[in-house]
């Protein structure tokens, strides 16, 4: 199979398109887009459009890069970065459902699903294997860790720790155990994630300090627990917390 560009699609001079891609009718791939192999762009999508940033200079040479095997459904918009030579990134094997939007300078990992009408503001990062439910909105500079489950219509204004479930407004409700099991995490890893979750969310005090204390305690050995705990050492937005009693055994 070779790359197919359907009638009425617009592919600007300078766009980079990999092998076995498909650009459907009325899709727009600008000169600022770099598509990996086997990317599918459905009608009405715009890949590499200008950022929604008032001070943006349209002469700025910035880009959107989409990883291999990603599917971009109808009316998705992926905006390029605001600074010269910077890139908005969508990883491999992602599925961006109709109407979803990734703003300038977003960094979306591999195997991510954005359901219909998800809204990612600028500079948002989304970890691998995360699912964001339909209509959810994410504040600029927020970080969403790997294997998170974000419910539909959620309002995310703070950082979401990896492997968690979040709903409503920054409301953590537990670990995404279904997602962890689907990824084939070991029993040891899941057990340590439960313990790490308890150490952070069932404790009292500063959440960064609780995570650091858990790391320094020497209890945790698995890479998954370390990824969970070290997430709290960074970020600009603060962290989503439990708005009510939660359980580490919550399902997706």
Q: Is 122 a catalytic residue?
A: yes
**Coil, strand, or helix at residue 144?**
strand
In a domain, 129, yes or no: no
Residue 249 in tokens: 């055994």
Confidence band for 211, pLDDT divided at 50, 70 and 90 = very high
User: How far is residue 35's CA from residue 15's CA, in Å, rounded to a whole number?
Assistant: 8
Confidence band for 252, pLDDT divided at 50, 70 and 90 = very low
In a domain, 215, yes or no: no
In a domain, 80, yes or no: yes
Q: Quick one: average pLDDT of 25-32? A: 98
User: How far is residue 228's CA from residue 146's CA, in Å, rounded to a whole number?
Assistant: 9
User: How far is residue 188's CA from residue 225's CA, in Å, rounded to a whole number?
Assistant: 10
In a domain, 166, yes or no: no
Asked if residues 162 and 149 have their Cβ atoms less than 8 Å apart, the reply is no
Which of 32, 42, 101, 104 does the annotation list as catalytic? 104
In a domain, 119, yes or no: yes
Asked if residues 118 and 88 have their Cβ atoms less than 8 Å apart, the reply is no
Which of 48, 122, 133, 179 does the annotation list as catalytic? 122
User: How far is residue 100's CA from residue 120's CA, in Å, rounded to a whole number?
Assistant: 8
If one counts the domains in the chain, the total is 1
pLDDT digits (tens, 9 = 90+) for 55-72: 999 999 999 999 999 999
pLDDT over 70 for what percent of the chain? 96
Asked if residues 111 and 117 have their Cβ atoms less than 8 Å apart, the reply is no
DSSP-assigned letter for residue 49: E
Which of 99, 101, 103, 105 does the annotation list as catalytic? 105
Q: What is the pLDDT of residue 242?
A: 83
Residue 246 has pLDDT above 90, yes or no: no
Residue 136 in tokens: 């959810």
Residue 244 has pLDDT above 70, yes or no: no
- The CATH number given to whatever domain includes residue 100 is 2.160.10.10
Query: Domain range spanning residue 50?
Result: 4-123
pTM: 0.95
The chain-wide mean pLDDT, for the chain, equals 95
In a domain, 194, yes or no: no
Dihedral in degrees, nearest 10, Cα atoms 229, 146, 134, 96: 160
In a domain, 250, yes or no: no
With left for phi above 0 and alpha for psi between -120 and 50, is residue 233 left, alpha or beta? alpha
Confidence band for 1, pLDDT divided at 50, 70 and 90 = low
Q: What is the pLDDT of residue 236?
A: 87
Confidence band for 243, pLDDT divided at 50, 70 and 90 = low
pLDDT over 90 for what percent of the chain? 94
Residue 217 burial class via C-beta count within 10 angstroms: exposed 0-12, middle 13-18, buried 19 and up: exposed
Asked if residues 3 and 20 have their Cβ atoms less than 8 Å apart, the reply is yes
pLDDT digits (tens, 9 = 90+) for 146-198: 999 999 999 999 999 999 999 999 999 999 999 999 999 999 999 999 999 99
In a domain, 251, yes or no: no
pLDDT digits (tens, 9 = 90+) for 93-134: 999 999 999 999 999 999 999 999 999 999 999 999 999 999
Beta partners for residue 34, in sequence order: 16, 65
């Amino acid at each position: 199979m070779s790359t197919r560009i359907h009638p009425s699609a617009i592919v600007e001079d300078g766009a980079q398109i990999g092998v076995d891609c498909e650009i459907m009718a009325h899709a727009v791939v600008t000169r600022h887009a770099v598509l990996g192999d086997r990317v599918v762009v459905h009608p009405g999508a715009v890949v590499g459009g200008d950022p929604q940033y008032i001070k943006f200079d349209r002469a700025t040479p910035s880009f959107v890069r989409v990883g291999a095997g990603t599917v971009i459904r109808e009316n998705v918009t992926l905006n390029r970065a605001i600074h010269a030579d910077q890139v908005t990134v969508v990883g491999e094997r992602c599925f961006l459902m109709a109407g979803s939007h990734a703003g300038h300078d977003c960094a979306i990992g591999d195997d991510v699903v954005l359901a219909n009408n998800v809204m990612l503001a600028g500079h948002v990062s989304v970890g691998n294997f995360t699912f964001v439910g339909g209509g959810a909105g994410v504040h600029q500079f927020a970080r969403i860790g790997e294997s998170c489950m974000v419910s539909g219509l959620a309002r995310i204004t703070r950082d979401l720790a990896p492997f968690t479930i979040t709903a409503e407004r920054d409301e953590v409700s537990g670990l995404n155990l279904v997602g962890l099991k689907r990824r084939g995490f070991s029993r040891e890893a899941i057990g340590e994630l439960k313990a790490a979750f308890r150490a952070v969310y069932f404790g009292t005090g500063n959440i960064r300090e609780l995570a650091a204390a858990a790391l320094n305690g020497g209890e945790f050995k698995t890479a998954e627990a370390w990824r969970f705990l070290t997430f709290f050492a960074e970020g600009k937005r603060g962290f989503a917390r439990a708005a009510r009693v939660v359980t580490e055994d919550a399902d997706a």
